[in-house]
Amino acid sequence: MDRSFPAGILLLAGLAGCTSIPTPAEMLATGYRSPEQCFRTFQCAVRADEPLMEYRCFSEHFRSEHHVSQWAWREIREQLWGQVGMRWAVAKAKPDAPARISGRHAWMEVGALGKRMKLTFVREEAGQLWSGETLLSDDALDFHSHSGAQEGGLFYGQVPMPPGCEPGTVTEMHLGQEWKLDELEPLPGS
> Counting runs of H as helices and runs of E as strands, what totals does the chain give?
6, 8
**Cα distance from N-terminal residue to C-terminal residue, the chain:** 26
Interacting residues of 68 by C-beta distance below 8 A, sequence separation 6+ = 2, 5, 55, 58, 62, 76
Instruction: Please state the rounded mean pLDDT for residues 13-30.
Output: 75
CA dihedral sign, ordered 5, 80, 93, 7 = negative
Which residues of 103-168 form beta strands (DSSP E)? 105-112, 115-131, 134-140, 147-150, 154-157
pLDDT confidence bin for 18, thresholds 50/70/90: low
Q: Is the pTM of this model over 0.85?
A: no
- Asked whether the predicted pLDDT for residue 144 surpasses 50, the reply is yes
Instruction: Please state the rounded mean pLDDT for residues 143-152.
Output: 90
Over residues 172-181, the pLDDT tens digits come to: 999 999 999 9
Interacting residues of 190 by C-beta distance below 8 A, sequence separation 6+ = 11, 114, 115, 116, 117
pLDDT at 190: 61
- Asked whether the predicted pLDDT for residue 149 surpasses 60, the reply is yes
Percent of the chain with pLDDT over 90: 71
**Cα(180)–Cα(33) distance, rounded to whole angstroms?**
9
- Asked whether the predicted pLDDT for residue 121 surpasses 80, the reply is yes
